[in-house]
Structure 1
């Protein structure tokens, strides 16, 4: 394909695997921001003397911008391609991280107190913009690959890209122990800058968008891109994509399923688990970070085979089974207080979440083929906002029940997982039959 005459004639660059790898790198870097404070949650809780609810608010602050920016930026891909939205979001995340490093440098530890809470919330919100890259990379990846490779490509993108928070859940506590809090976050800032620079150098949009940029008319650009293997194309601009996807009822079903499997579920737990393991099971901050990292990395990687399973057996079937597995894991975390059973419950929950999320996104181009960007924006944005509810709710269980509240809070996931399993089964019965 690299020597296809259309590529040479129209001066087209890149190829699907490069598009996939650069999108994955951008997501890996940007999504680290969802654990902006989570990795050092216990440190911030103690230094600022925060209640459970206020800690939940601080941990969820990056998810505000992540949620609200996913909607317009995901849809914007249908108009300009993914490269520009990626770079803007990563740039905003760098500014937020730089602001936090500035506060830590001048105020931590001697003058680090509750008066800084509003500023920390602000920089957390700004830094979380990188988390919005998720809904940008979904359509960017979709437009690079043919229909029969969607589960694989999106599973790889989301699976490998989502390792970022897990890696940083482990690395940052280690760096805090070695270098101190300020230097650890400075190292994180340096990583964001380098990753963004690499993305800027190598990332290219799918051929259709390159052809439009080169002045080729829409229908001809579409024909050339189809010859090069592209199956999905945007039906209009940002607003048209949002409007068309919003008018499709299946979009809102996928919004809810994504909220529980990932946007409000998995991402909440990547930020919550360091504090859960540190405060409830009384392990060190480094060990708590390692356990949380295992959850995040495993739950992300399993999305890769989850995507392939969805291609093979259908997203509806895989989603129904996976949400059932989620309920089992959440039940174990709720009922058992022992370290071993809690760890096993966490891994079962992570299995269900990872595979369910891969299944949900296999259904996006299938259900909303003409507005993948808009649908990804709604799903990633509104679904991602679930974190703003779930994290404070988990904190409230601790405020009400004390120490045992860390375990009892997982009852929320039992109920929500059961509802999602029923919805997924209904999709299999009705939507799969064309009703």
Structure 2
């Protein structure tokens, strides 16, 4: 159920990406304005991961997840309302459309709730596989919606497509509310057991990870650990980069390579988002076998190669290869980072998940406007030139990976 809650909430990443060309034409948006619209769900989806991830350490994952999904439902309903109420979307509606994107983006923050919700159910030795599976299956949502939304728009129109999305989210939230359960410790605490008794009984049933008793203590404890910030830097590149490209690739294929909206959605959904999601599951297995540090080094090296191909060569086949390489690298890198979170911050998994997931995912909000600004500055060539940002990020991430490899070697003696 933690994975299910993440899946239905995380679909909001693709809220505007597949419909980007429609909004761009209707509202006559500049590159920066388009990038801001595409990134709107990522702002709330990233920043609110921090408090909500830490809140899990206090009450378990069920209440925070339902709160996020409820807020996302409000945003989706508002978007459906304006699309049905307004005959033609124009530039004056831009602030309202962005606002509903912010509100819908609360569902994206479900990631940092589901991570500790799942972690507390599993022993340390199973964290890589459990979290890799969680992240991989949950990450399927943006790719599936990026793939399906253009077909839905063609058949039902934009308003009808978003109405169907709202109904899916509503039903999914009800399913989660009925079936979701927190780990033993949180169930015992809700029944009135003391923290000490809850820990003892939960440990007897196999629970190995336990939270701190206050929300902000978990965040502060994670923030005081220097290695947390190295993980933030890695996740900014892998997951923030993933969020940004999930919404950017459809407009990239449509405007640079003159693909139809349906084809652009197919290339972005399958060639990047779905690929990165599925490979994340295998990335968890690789991280358990070879260690998160070395797996991350390999992953970001692949991202670097893909970014170079997209930046300096404008050719469909080469660019498709670059997209695939970036998708593979980011998917594996996402799993590798969260293999290291319980290892380096075991006393505050919720707080660390919030910081790493929240500040890392903030890249999904910062990068699209940068890509749009490059298009404004360079014209059509900016669709390729903007990927130089990923070259820089990948090089930075490779350096951080070497830092963690040295730490791991030192710890092993």
Q: TM-score, normalized by length of structure 2?
A: 0.98
- Distance, in Å, in 1 between the alignment partners of 2:367 and 2:408 is 29
Aligned to 1:159: 136
User: Is 1:43–2:26 an aligned residue pair?
Assistant: no
Counterpart contact for 2:80–2:163, Cα < 8 Å: yes
Aligned to 2:75: 96
- Distance, in Å, in 1 between the alignment partners of 2:284 and 2:196 is 31
Counterpart contact for 2:58–2:212, Cα < 8 Å: no
1:371 counterpart (308, 327, 348): 348
Aligned to 2:238: 261
| Structure-to-structure mapping, 1:223-302, within 5 angstroms | 223-262=200-239, 264-294=240-270, 295-302=272-279
1:265 is paired with a residue whose SS is: helix
- Distance, in Å, in 1 between the alignment partners of 2:396 and 2:99 is 34
- Distance, in Å, in 1 between the alignment partners of 2:409 and 2:131 is 21
Mean alpha-carbon deviation: is it higher for 379-388 or for 152-161? Answer: 379-388
- Distance, in Å, in 1 between the alignment partners of 2:299 and 2:322 is 14
User: Is 1:85–2:64 an aligned residue pair?
Assistant: yes
Gaps of 5+ in 2: none
Aligned to 1:187: 164
Q: CA deviation at 1:254?
A: 0.5
Aligned to 2:43: 64
- Distance, in Å, in 2 between the alignment partners of 1:243 and 1:403 is 45
2:346 is paired with a residue whose SS is: coil
- Distance, in Å, in 1 between the alignment partners of 2:143 and 2:291 is 28
Q: Deviations over 1:96-153 (max 9, x none)?
A: 0110111100114xx3100001111111100000000000111111100011100000
Q: CA deviation at 1:430?
A: 2.5
Q: CA deviation at 1:383?
A: 1.2
- Distance, in Å, in 1 between the alignment partners of 2:212 and 2:14 is 35
Aligned to 1:360: 337
Mean alpha-carbon deviation: is it higher for 76-85 or for 241-250? Answer: 241-250
2:322 counterpart (345, 352, 359): 345
Mean alpha-carbon deviation: is it higher for 336-345 or for 80-89? Answer: 336-345
Aligned to 2:6: 27
Q: CA deviation at 1:235?
A: 2.1
- Distance, in Å, in 1 between the alignment partners of 2:46 and 2:367 is 14
- Distance, in Å, in 2 between the alignment partners of 1:223 and 1:303 is 34
1:204 is paired with a residue whose SS is: coil
Aligned CA RMSD, in angstroms, stands at 1.0
User: Is 1:387–2:381 an aligned residue pair?
Assistant: no
1:138 is paired with a residue whose SS is: helix
User: Is 1:323–2:291 an aligned residue pair?
Assistant: no
Mean alpha-carbon deviation: is it higher for 218-227 or for 155-164? Answer: 218-227
- Distance, in Å, in 2 between the alignment partners of 1:52 and 1:123 is 20
2:258 is paired with a residue whose SS is: coil
Corresponding pairs, count: 411
- Distance, in Å, in 1 between the alignment partners of 2:303 and 2:206 is 36
Runs of 4+ in 1 over 6 A off after TM superposition: none
Q: TM-score, normalized by length of structure 1?
A: 0.93
Q: CA deviation at 1:238?
A: 0.6
Q: CA deviation at 1:387?
A: 2.0
Q: CA deviation at 1:431?
A: 4.4
Q: CA deviation at 1:39?
A: 1.6
